[in-house]
Structure 1
Amino acid sequence: MIDHMGITATDFELSRRFYDAALEPLGLAGIMEVTPEESGGYHGIGYGKGKPFFWLSNDRRPGERSAVTGTGIHIAFAAESRAAVDAFYAAAMAHGGQDNGAPGLRPHYHPNYYGAFVIDPDGFNVEAVCHAPE
């Protein structure tokens, strides 16, 4: 079982605004932050409910090269309703996301699979999915 995961942003503040907006409809928020002053350069924000499970960071120390982008990585966040999937998609698109599959049923996965896909500012394929019937 995975406890938490993290991705690296090439523009931390741009990606932070994207995830703050896109994850809010799913009930997720930044609940822990590690600042560069605390860590010697690393800047990270942990999103979750109760405890952080998804981390966004610059993942660099002073003098290190820029991060590699997220091509080939897919992250799916659970949504409690189809309306939350729709709101995730709208917020993500309004904050720099690129369409990678508008909200809708994906019956090839299972009859109630309702998801939306966006590409974040670093090229990560981010999804919100609801498995509940309507």
Structure 2
Amino acid sequence: MIGYTMVGTTDLRRAERFYDPLMALIGQERCYCDEQVASWGRRDDDRAPRFFACYPFDGNKASIGNGTMTAFLVERADVIERMFEIALEQGGRSEGTPGFRPQYGDGFYAAYVRDPDGNKLAFVCYDAKKPLTPDA
């Protein structure tokens, strides 16, 4: 259903530094880059969804939409935790620390951040395993 997602930036090189290590953790590579836009996805499959950061095409400054968020599906909770750490190291800010969100399902594990431009991102796993607790 999704062809691609695009977020605006005011500094494309900063956006590349922010997104490159995050995308690498989930197996997405830089597919395209020029002076206006950078994209990540799978080079070998142009039908797979891609993620873009770009300067707005109308020439106006990028602005953030309230209620807009891109969620990246991740296979394991420990990868989400690492993505959250990297996002903060690269200038992002927390919108919700990694953890289970039982209101969305038993295995729903997520972290929420804003990139340096303020775009809201989620890193989510739908079937994370809860840690085993030792018997008392």
Task: Indicate whether the TM-score tops 0.5.
Answer: yes
Within 5 A, what are the aligned runs for 1:29-44?
29-33=29-33, 35-36=34-35, 43-44=36-37
Larger radius of gyration: 2
Q: Partners of 2:65 and 2:15 in 1: how far apart?
A: 12
For structure 1, which segment, 9-18 or 89-98, has the greater mean C-alpha deviation from structure 2 after superposition?
9-18
Q: Trace 1:48-67 onto structure 2 (pairs within 5 A).
A: 48-49=41-42, 50=44, 51=46, 53-60=50-57, 64-67=59-62
Contact 1:70-1:123 at 8 Å conserved across structures: no
Residue 26 of structure 1 pairs with residue 16 of structure 2 = no
Alignment of 1:1-134 (within 5 A): 1-33=1-33, 35-36=34-35, 43-49=36-42, 50=44, 51=46, 53-60=50-57, 64-134=59-129
- State whether residues 60 and 66 of structure 1, in contact with CA within 8 Å, keep that contact through their aligned partners in structure 2: no
Whether the 8 Å CA contact 1:71–1:124 is kept in 2: the answer is no
Supply the AA of the counterpart residue of 2:110: G
CA distance in 2 between counterparts of 1:81 and 1:8 reads: 28
- List alignment gaps of at least 5 residues for structure 1: 37-42
CA shift, 1:21, in A, is: 2.2
TM-score (norm: length of structure 1): 0.83
Structure 1 stretches of 4+ moved >6 Å: none
- Secondary structure at the counterpart of residue 102 of structure 1: strand
- Could you report, residue by residue, the CA deviation over 1:54-73 in whole angstroms, capped at 9, with x for unpaired residues? 11111347xx3322235432
In structure 2, give the amino acid aligned to 1:83.
D
Distance change >3 Å, CA 70–CA 9, structure 1 → 2: farther
Structure 2 unmatched runs, 5+: 130-136
- Tell me the CA shift for residue 2 of structure 1: 1.6
SS in 2 for 1:122: coil
Partner SS for 1:31: strand
Q: Which position in structure 2 is the counterpart of 1:39?
A: none
Counterpart CA distance in 2 for 1:71 and 1:121 is: 16
Identity over the aligned pairs, expressed in percent? 29
- CA displacement 1:56-109 (0-9 Å, x = unmatched): 111347xx3322235432110010111111111011010001011111100000
